Structure 1
Amino acid sequence: MQDKVTLITGGASGIGEGMVRRFCAEGARVILADINEAGGRDVAASCGAEFYHLDVTSESDWAALAAHVRSEYGRLDALLNNAGIVSSQSIVDVDVATWNRLLAINLTGMMLGCQTAIALMGENKPTAGGSIVNTASSTSYLAIPGDVAYVTSKAGVVGLTKSVAVFCATEGLNVRCNSIHPGATPTAILQPALDAAPEIVPNLERMSPLKRMGSAAEVAAMALFLASDEASYCTGGQFPVEGGTVSEHPRMF
């Protein structure tokens, strides 16, 4: 990824921060895009990335970011579509405003990112192309009862990723698109639940056959592979980083 221009949304904390730090360490020219101004600027300054304020739900923000990338970098090689939120509301609790906001960030924002990246990557010289990596979840496969909007959005990421991948391939655009699927990972999204009920930590660790939670660095390593030329024959795929959580049948004993 040396000198590859890489845009990472939701990079101010958690898995996104792990991606920013890893890609910077690998020599990429990283743009950290986030709505969290203070956190994003701190992370960017600490590892040599550029911070850019972005509301992923805003078409005008994406258009402005595309113009910035063209003028300041001249190309985009990789997009890590990572911004996301949770609601912690079940189907009987969720209100329409919460549902719409979560889907706007987790799914519509990701779609806008794909649109923007495809346009920019098509302009790359001498050879058009690039890689899009969408952050989904282990809940893309296995539902949890307490957050219907989040589960729905992360299942939707799979469909979005596949559609983008096959469109780009059949149109000869040389843009790959894959999704990564983290399991339980200690991040800012999970932290409120851990603070409220620290006794759930052993339960979270038991979710994986490896008997531990993952780390942001481990998820970032998978994203790095998919963004790189080493993954040149990978597109439309789902890549789990969840310690085998979705592979194990519930035990009888």
Structure 2
Amino acid sequence: MGKLDGRVVIVTGAARGQGEQEARLFRAEGAEVVVADVLDEQGKALAEEIGALYVHLDVSQESDWRRATQAAVEEYGRLDGLVNNAGILRFHTLLDTPLDEFMQIVNVNQVGCFLGIKAVGPVLSDGGTIVNTASYTGMTGMAGVGAYAASKHAILGLTRVAALELAPRGIRVNAMCPGAIDTAMSNPAVLDPTADGEQASRGLDRFYRKVVPLGRIGRPEEVARLALFLTSADSSYITGQPFVIDGGWLAGVSVL
């Protein structure tokens, strides 16, 4: 038996990276998975491969959320979980960040998370789960990613409020706070078919060895396992909490 047998879960940003690994793992653990993304070709291919439903979803658009939620319920008759995984990252100092870029990040990361909670909340089964993807930078600051950090801090607030408001129905809402993870967001080489992605990953490991106690960048499948824990009955008495998965980065700086 799988840990998610009989459950129906939407995973956003599921065409690649963390979302893809979450969709694959959830399906392997018995869930009916709704692969949601704006990358239609990749998303459809993944859904066909794992036996899931694909829906086009721009998380910043409320109408897309209504269609995605309706499609999930029409296909499977119920909805039990949501993983708000979709997000974007841009690098700029605060003083050099254009307003339109700041708002784009807020609309995808923060508003997208809010709209997801709002859309699935009314139809989510009692005892359901919502997992929001925040960030290491939602727990602390990081120069050069001010808009991203602001949006991820906001996700923690949304998570806590949603946990309080949905608790009477037994719905649990938690947040994951990944550090650097080896996906296209931090390793664009994985998107370049002419590049050596493995070599790029080894280079990232060498860089993060300097700042991460465990000495390497994280892997998306490791984040997926945390998402599984927070979606399954293994975390049945946990709600409203941030879970840092960063190889010890947030613990501090070693002087040894």
Structure 2 length as normaliser, TM-score? 0.90
Q: Choose 54-63 or 198-207, whichever is displaced more.
A: 198-207
Q: 1:13 aligns with which of 13, 16, 23?
A: 16
Rounded Cα–Cα distance in structure 2 between residues aligned with 1:54 and 1:236 = 26
Name the structure 1 match of 2:181.
185
Task: Check the 8 A contact 2:213/2:247 in 1, yes or no.
Answer: yes
Q: 2:232 aligns with which of 228, 231, 247?
A: 228
Name the structure 2 match of 1:119.
122
Q: Which amino acid is the alignment partner of residue 185 of structure 1?
A: I
How many angstroms does 1:129 deviate by?
A: 2.9
Name the structure 1 match of 2:165.
167
How many angstroms does 1:201 deviate by?
A: 4.2
Deviations 1:138-195 (A, max 9, x none): 11122221111111111111111011101112xx121110001111111011123898
Rounded Cα–Cα distance in structure 2 between residues aligned with 1:193 and 1:246 = 26
Structure 2 unaligned segments of length 5 or more: list them.
none
Name the structure 2 match of 1:213.
217
Q: 2:246 aligns with which of 225, 238, 242?
A: 242
SS at match of 1:120: coil
SS at match of 1:98: helix
Q: Which amino acid is the alignment partner of residue 56 of structure 1?
A: V
Name the structure 2 match of 1:143.
141
Name the structure 2 match of 1:78.
81
Name the structure 1 match of 2:31.
28
How many angstroms does 1:206 deviate by?
A: 3.0
Does 1:47 pair with 2:50? Answer: yes
Q: 1:101 aligns with which of 96, 99, 104?
A: 104
Q: Which amino acid is the alignment partner of residue 215 of structure 2?
A: K
Name the structure 2 match of 1:90.
93
Does 1:203 pair with 2:203? Answer: no
Task: Check the 8 A contact 1:134/1:177 in 2, yes or no.
Answer: yes
Task: Check the 8 A contact 2:175/2:242 in 1, yes or no.
Answer: yes
Task: Check the 8 A contact 1:117/1:132 in 2, yes or no.
Answer: no
Q: Which amino acid is the alignment partner of residue 245 of structure 2?
A: V
Cα RMSD over matched residues? 1.8
Rounded Cα–Cα distance in structure 2 between residues aligned with 1:226 and 1:108 = 22
SS at match of 2:89: coil
Deviations 1:36-83 (A, max 9, x none): 111111222222221110011111111112222222212111100000
How many angstroms does 1:205 deviate by?
A: 3.1
Rounded Cα–Cα distance in structure 2 between residues aligned with 1:232 and 1:13 = 28
How many angstroms does 1:252 deviate by?
A: 3.2
Figure out how many residues of one structure are paired with residues of the other and give that number.
244
Task: Check the 8 A contact 1:168/1:176 in 2, yes or no.
Answer: yes
Q: 1:153 aligns with which of 132, 151, 161?
A: 151
- Relative distance call for 1:20 and 1:200 in structure 2 (3 A) is closer
Name the structure 2 match of 1:176.
172
Rounded Cα–Cα distance in structure 1 between residues aligned with 2:25 and 2:17 = 13
Task: Check the 8 A contact 1:23/1:30 in 2, yes or no.
Answer: yes
Q: Choose 37-46 or 108-117, whichever is displaced more.
A: 37-46
SS at match of 1:79: strand
SS at match of 1:80: strand
Structure 1 unaligned segments of length 5 or more: list them.
none
Q: Which amino acid is the alignment partner of residue 80 of structure 1?
A: V
